[in-house]
Amino acid sequence: MRNLLLVVLVLLFGSQAGFRTRLYASAQTAPVAHPLAAEAERLSVELNPQVVAWRRDFHKNPELGNRETRTAKVIADELRKLGYTVTTGVATTGVVGVLKGGLPGPVVALRSDMDGLPVQEQGDLPFKSTAKTQWAGQEVGVMHACGHDNHMAILLGTATALARMKDRLPGTVKVIFQPAEEGPPPGETGGAEQMIKESVLENPKVDAIFGLHVFPFPAGQIVYRSGPLMASADTFLIRIKGRQTHGAVPWGGIDPIVIGSQVVMGLQTIISRTVNITEAPAVVTVGRFSGGNRSNIVPELVELEGTIRAFNEDVRKSIHERIRAIATHYAEAAGATATVEIGMGTAYPSTINDSALTERMLPTLRRAVGADNVRLGPLTGTAEDFSFFQQKVPGLFVFLGVTPRDQDHTKVAQNHSPLFFADESALPIGVKVMTNLALDYLFGGK
């Protein structure tokens, strides 16, 4: 009998211990929903018709960077209706809305970009853009070819959902609608960097920031990466000045075309011979080489223009130094001169997701869209000025897939294409993701 009792006790307590172990393990791995999860789920569906309407309106009426006046008015008017404290004219046309919850807590920021691109839309949507404007002295078509129309609609939907929960929010929400992500017009400042200079992350001080970008992954899929996600981007311009002469007597001058050709080849050795690509990949591309106007004249001047992409700040700075050295020394060796400008127009640091914040919010992403729809993504050579926000506060930036599920996402038109297409089935998923990121962060505290 005692032996039987002993067996029963062992089985009973052993079973309870095992249960406690499993329960603990489950608590460590299973995402715990915040108290408003069911409401966030319901609102992402309920608000979708309005989100779609906003998206189509923005798509039909795109505006270029620092010129988003109509766009900004639509956004500001909507935020005021929702009860946000609204500031306009930030970094020229930016809009910032602040919603103070009914309970004390941290401050979370959610960001969307606003600008379109000088691209003539070639798709056949019923709400396609026919807008035209001036860019760099030329008349151009304007299109939301990078999908910022989706971002704005998603963030307005998120702002609406959070406003309906205002009294139960433990903290403050700041929604940031940013102009000129694609870069301001020549000679102007703008974008995230300018918004930061104008204190967008202060009053109230932001504790963390979230953003997303539509991308040609399967619709509704969320792609994330801790640490570096997107590359830095720096434009460079090299001017090589030689001495003009007749093409029949090249010894009578100094040929900048030959020097420029040598510089192009020299630039290729930066990545292949000086960057440890096993640790941090990088790219140096010359996209424009221009000079001369006749076949029989050696010109005085040539220009080389290109882009630099990197994922590590030290590598980025090293590439800058090597470009300056190669251009100036090749020119000097031939008796010419060279000037190098880096960062005019575009100078974005790498988009680097805060590792602790990413780990903390990963269960939120999985709960919002299902674990099967969340995957670790590769590094991408594209760039985003969301990176400036991440240099100031912890930030998480993710991709939202918008390729129809019946299409091969590896073969569709990419962002910036005149044929870029975003499946609207991703819109409610974007709202659900952004709403849950904000709520989980607020309920979790700093």
Question: Token digits for 190?
Answer: 């703008």
Taking the C-alpha atoms of residue 54 and residue 30, their distance in angstroms, rounded to an integer, is 35
Taking the C-alpha atoms of residue 285 and residue 308, their distance in angstroms, rounded to an integer, is 7
Catalytic residue among 41, 46, 303, 424: 424
Residue 24 bears catalytic tag = no
Question: ∠ CA 350-392-176 to the nearest 5 degrees?
Answer: 90
**Tokens 């939120």 map to which residue?**
364
**Tokens 């000129």 map to which residue?**
180
Can you give 427-443 as a three-state secondary structure string?
A: HHHHHHHHHHHHHHHHH
Taking the C-alpha atoms of residue 390 and residue 172, their distance in angstroms, rounded to an integer, is 19
Question: Token digits for 280?
Answer: 């941090």
Taking the C-alpha atoms of residue 139 and residue 403, their distance in angstroms, rounded to an integer, is 31
Taking the C-alpha atoms of residue 148 and residue 129, their distance in angstroms, rounded to an integer, is 13
- Express the helix, strand and coil content of the chain in percent, nearest 5 each: 40, 30, 30
Q: Nearest Cα to 101, choosing from 38, 162, 35, 34?
A: 162
**Tokens 């639509």 map to which residue?**
74
Residues 6+ apart with CB under 8 A from 279: 312
Residue 139 bears catalytic tag = no
How many C-beta atoms surround the C-beta of residue 180 within 10 A?
28
**Tokens 């292949």 map to which residue?**
272
Taking the C-alpha atoms of residue 277 and residue 313, their distance in angstroms, rounded to an integer, is 14
Q: Nearest Cα to 318, choosing from 261, 271, 353?
A: 271
Chain centroid offset of residue 289 CA: 29
Catalytic residue among 224, 348, 384, 441: 348
Chain centroid offset of residue 162 CA: 23
Chain centroid offset of residue 422 CA: 16
Taking the C-alpha atoms of residue 220 and residue 425, their distance in angstroms, rounded to an integer, is 7
Residue type, 92: T
Strand locations in 199-336, DSSP E?
Answer: 208-218, 222-224, 227-230, 232-241, 245-246, 282-291, 297-298, 301-310
Catalytic residues: 348, 424
